[in-house]
Amino acid sequence: MARLGVMGCAALALLAMAVPALAEDAKPEMEVIGDIGGVPIKAAVQTFGPIRVVGPFSRSTNPGAHVAGVYMKLENTSDKEIRLLNAATDAARDVLLHDMPMIEGVVTMTPVSEGIPIPAHGRIDLHPGGYHIMLSGLVKPLQPGRNFPMTLAFSDGTKADLSVNVWDIQQLQITTQ
Ligand SMILES: [Cu+2]
């Protein structure tokens, strides 16, 4: 008991010292990424150097499905454009950056060759029907409520290790900008 007490005190002392410095970060900033039946779904904002990432998610897939999209909001807090150059995950054999531009009147899924640009002091929204990260050759179906790791690499050298949440494709209504 005595040892526990000492450890408890040490932990409290550390906490007390840490509180002033952490005051701003104590409550993670949350943003609404969508809703399920009108109930808003919030995700924490994660910061990696000049990049802020909000709510990386994927939608669940049916057995036998080979592809899925990954979506999130990306913010660039720096003075220069930063590009998302690539994404990696163990959840699929191939990971590609895609856009859905209108080509001759038809929305066409197109590989992004020079990365997805995030303007200086701007943000972009990866969402169904727009920029997305395409998983091809899923190792196994994406099940609702699960998550999987993904690493993003940016043109300024920033790397972001993320956990991608899988939401039920039937339920999640996505909020876009
Ligand atoms: Cu795609």
Per-residue pLDDT reduced to its tens digit, 117-156: 999 999 999 998 899 999 999 999 999 999 999 999 999 9
* Average pLDDT over all residues of the chain: 86
pTM, 2 dp: 0.80
Q: What is the pLDDT of residue 113?
A: 86
Q: What's the DSSP call for residue 166?
A: E
The rounded distance, in Å, linking the Cα atoms of 146 and 61 is 12
Residue type, 59: R
| Confidence check: pLDDT of 26 > 70 | no
Task: Give, as residue ranges, everything with CB less than 5 Å from ion ligand 1.
Answer: 98, 109, 134
User: What are the extents of the domains in the chain?
Assistant: 29-174
Nearby residues of 83 by Cβ (< 8 Å), 6 or more positions away: 114, 115, 116, 117, 118, 154, 155
- Hey, CA dihedral for 93, 48, 44, 17, is it positive or negative? positive
Å from CA of 64 to ligand 1 middle:
17
Q: What stretch of H or E contains 85?
A: strand 82-88
The per-residue b/e assignment along 130-152, b for 16 or more CB within 10 angstroms, e otherwise, is: bbbbbbeebeeebeeeebbebeb
Interatomic CA distance for residues 137 and 98, integer angstroms: 15
* Beta-strand runs (E) in 100-174: 102-103, 106-107, 110-111, 116-118, 123-126, 132-138, 147-154, 159-167, 172-174
d(CA 112, ligand 1 centre) in Å = 10
Fold held by 29-174: Immunoglobulin-like (2.60.40)
Using the mean position of ligand 1's atoms as its centre, give its distance from the Cα of residue 68 in Å: 8
- What is the rounded CA–CA span in Å between residue 140 and residue 60? 11
- Tell me the two tokens of residue 138: 């899923």
Confidence tier at 174 by pLDDT (50, 70, 90):
confident
- DSSP character for 170? T
